[in-house]
C-alpha cells in the first residue's frame, strides 16, 4: 500500500517531464523566431481588446439553443473592451466546419466560440494552427493548450422541473419529446424523472425519440403521440417550441427548454430549464483580456447561474413553487445532488449505491434510463 503512491508519483513525474522537455527543446531551437511573434500577438490583443467570433449550429431565430447563445453573446458585448463580435449561423457539423472556424481565425478574432458538439475535431484542428487564439468549444471533451471546453449542468434545473411535473400531473403520465439518444439528452431525461419520482413515485415518464434536433412538424407530431396515450404534462429536449403548441392546443401542461418560451403556450406553460450563457461568456472575455485565461473544462451549474429555472407561470401552485425554490437552493449550496444514490435503472438494478453521488465522468457518459422512464435507448 505504501509503495503505490510513490509509484504513482514517479509515473506522474515522468509524464510531466517528457512533454515539458520536448517543449523546452522546441523553444530553444527557435528561440529567436517566436519571441517577436508573441509580443506582436500581445500588442494586437491590447490594441483591439477582445474580438470574439461565434459558430452557431442553428439559426439565431430558432427561439431555442442558438437563440440562447446569441443572447449570451450580446450580454458579453456590454464589456467596454469587447469589440462588436461576429457570428456565423447554421454551420454544418463535422469536417466542413473547420473552414468556417479558420475563416474567423484569419479575420483577426482572438476568442472563438464553437457552440455545438460536432465542431469538436474541427476546433482542435484549427486551434493547432492558430496558437495565439483562444478557442472555447461547447459540450465536447477534447482540450488543448489554447482550447477549453464549457457546458452547463442542465440536469440540475431539469430535476427541479421534474418536481413541478410530478406535482402537476393528474394521470401520472408525463411525456418527454427527445432528440437523440446521446448522454446529454439521457442525463436530462433521468434527472427529470428522478425529480418526478421524488414527489410522485407513481408517475412515469414516456420518451419518444424524434431523431432530429430541429423539425417543428415532427416535434409537434411526437408531442401529439404522447398526448394520445394520455400524457397530461409534456416536456422536451428539442430546439423548436412545437411541443409547447401541442400542449396548448390540447389543454395539457408543458415545461419548455433552452429559453423562456411561454409566449408559445400562455396557458400550458409551467416553467423551463434555461441557459444563461452571458455570465460565462463575460467571464471568459475578461480572463482572455487580462491574460489569466488557461485551458480547462468548465461545467457550471445553478450555483454559477449558467443554468436556471425560468420564472413559474401562475398555473404552478404557491406551495409547489416554494418546494422547488427550496430544492433549488439546496442544489446551489451543494446539499442536494440529483444523482445521489440509491438510484435504480429500468430493470430495477441499483446503478448508484446509497450514499454515493455519481461522478462527473459517469454523468457525461450516461447511457441507461433510471426507473420510472418508459422508453428504450437503441444501441
Partner 1 sequence: MFEILLDATVRAGTPILFATLGAIINERAGIINLGIEGLMLIGALAGFSGTYLSGSLFVGVIAAFCATFIAGSIHALITVQLRGNQIVSGLALTMFGVGVTALFGKSMVGLTIVGFKRVAIPGLSQLPFIGKAFFNQDLLIYFSFFLVFMIWFFLYRTRWGLGVRSVGENPAAADTCGFSVSKYRFLAVTVGSGFVGIGGAYLSLASTPMWIENMSAGRGWIAVALVIFAGWSSPRAMLGAYLFGGITAMQLRFQAMGTTISAHILQMLPYFFTILVLVISTHRLQKGASQQPEGLGLPYDREDRK
Q: Applying CB under 8 A, which residues contact partner 1? A: 58-63, 89-90, 175, 206-212, 214-222, 224-226, 228-229, 240-242, 245, 263-264, 374-376, 378
Per the CB < 8 A criterion, the answer to whether 209 and 180 are in contact is yes
Q: Write down the residue that cell numbers 473552414 correspond to.
A: 99
CB-wise, 229 or 330, nearer to partner 1? 229
C-alpha cell at 234: 409534456
CA–CA gap between residue 114 and residue 83 (Å, rounded): 18
User: Whole-number minimum distance, CB 98 to partner 1, in Å?
Assistant: 22
CB-wise, 290 or 347, nearer to partner 1? 347
User: Whole-number minimum distance, CB 9 to partner 1, in Å?
Assistant: 49
186 three-class SS: helix
User: Whole-number minimum distance, CB 86 to partner 1, in Å?
Assistant: 17
**Torsion 68-69-70-71 (CA) sign:** positive
306 three-class SS: coil
CB-wise, 147 or 240, nearer to partner 1? 240
User: Whole-number minimum distance, CB 322 to partner 1, in Å?
Assistant: 30
CB-wise, 42 or 376, nearer to partner 1? 376
CB-wise, 124 or 261, nearer to partner 1? 261
Q: Write down the residue that cell numbers 456590454 correspond to.
A: 78
User: Whole-number minimum distance, CB 176 to partner 1, in Å?
Assistant: 10
User: Whole-number minimum distance, CB 224 to partner 1, in Å?
Assistant: 7
User: Whole-number minimum distance, CB 77 to partner 1, in Å?
Assistant: 18
Phi and psi for 142 in degrees, rounded to 5?
-100, 135
275 three-class SS: strand
Neighbours of 278 (CB within 10 A): 20
CA–CA gap between residue 111 and residue 200 (Å, rounded): 46
CB-wise, 68 or 134, nearer to partner 1? 68
CA angle 62/379/94 to nearest 5° reads 45
Neighbours of 4 (CB within 10 A): 8
CB-wise, 126 or 270, nearer to partner 1? 270
Neighbours of 147 (CB within 10 A): 22
Amino acid at each position: 500500500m505504501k509503495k503505490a503512491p510513490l509509484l504513482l508519483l514517479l509515473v506522474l513525474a515522468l509524464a510531466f517531464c517528457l512533454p515539458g522537455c520536448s517543449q523546452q527543446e522546441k523553444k530553444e531551437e527557435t528561440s529567436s523566431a517566436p519571441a517577436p511573434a508573441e509580443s506582436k500577438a500581445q500588442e494586437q490583443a491590447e490594441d483591439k481588446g477582445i474580438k470574439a467570433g461565434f459558430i452557431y449550429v442553428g439559426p439565431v431565430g430558432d427561439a431555442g439553443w442558438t437563440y440562447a447563445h446569441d443572447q449570451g453573446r450580446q450580454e458579453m458585448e456590454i464589456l467596454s473592451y469587447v469589440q462588436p463580435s461576429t457570428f456565423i449561423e447554421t454551420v454544418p457539423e463535422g469536417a466542413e466546419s473547420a473552414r468556417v472556424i479558420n475563416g474567423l481565425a484569419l479575420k483577426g478574432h482572438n476568442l472563438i466560440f464553437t457552440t455545438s458538439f460536432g465542431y469538436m475535431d474541427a476546433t482542435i484542428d484549427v486551434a493547432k494552427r492558430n496558437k495565439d487564439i483562444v478557442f472555447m468549444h461547447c459540450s465536447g471533451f477534447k482540450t488543448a493548450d489554447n482550447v477549453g471546453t464549457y457546458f452547463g449542468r442542465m440536469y440540475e434545473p431539469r430535476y427541479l422541473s421534474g418536481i413541478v411535473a410530478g406535482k402537476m400531473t393528474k394521470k401520472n403520465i408525463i411525456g418527454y419529446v427527445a432528440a437523440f439518444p446521446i448522454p446529454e439528452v439521457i442525463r436530462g431525461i433521468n434527472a427529470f424523472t428522478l425529480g418526478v419520482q421524488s414527489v410522485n413515485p407513481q408517475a412515469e415518464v414516456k420518451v419518444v425519440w424524434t431523431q432530429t434536433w430541429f423539425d417543428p412538424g415532427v416535434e409537434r407530431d411526437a408531442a401529439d403521440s404522447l398526448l394520445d396515450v394520455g400524457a397530461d404534462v409534456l416536456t422536451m429536449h428539442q430546439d423548436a417550441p412545437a411541443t409547447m403548441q401541442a400542449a396548448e392546443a390540447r389543454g395539457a401542461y408543458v415545461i419548455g427548454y433552452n429559453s423562456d418560451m411561454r409566449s408559445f403556450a400562455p396557458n400550458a406553460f409551467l416553467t423551463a430549464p434555461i441557459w444563461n450563457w452571458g455570465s460565462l461568456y463575460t467571464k471568459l472575455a475578461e480572463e482572455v483580456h487580462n491574460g489569466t485565461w488557461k485551458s480547462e473544462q468548465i461545467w457550471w451549474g445553478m450555483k454559477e447561474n449558467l443554468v436556471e429555472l425560468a420564472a413559474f407561470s401562475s398555473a404552478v401552485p404557491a406551495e409547489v413553487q416554494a418546494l422547488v425554490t427550496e430544492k433549488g437552493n439546496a442544489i446551489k449550496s451543494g446539499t442536494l445532488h440529483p444523482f445521489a444514490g440509491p438510484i435504480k435503472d429500468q430493470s430495477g438494478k441499483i446503478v448508484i449505491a446509497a450514499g454515493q453521488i455519481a461522478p462527473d465522468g459517469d454523468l457525461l457518459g450516461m447511457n441507461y434510463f433510471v426507473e420510472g422512464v418508459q422508453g428504450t435507448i437503441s444501441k
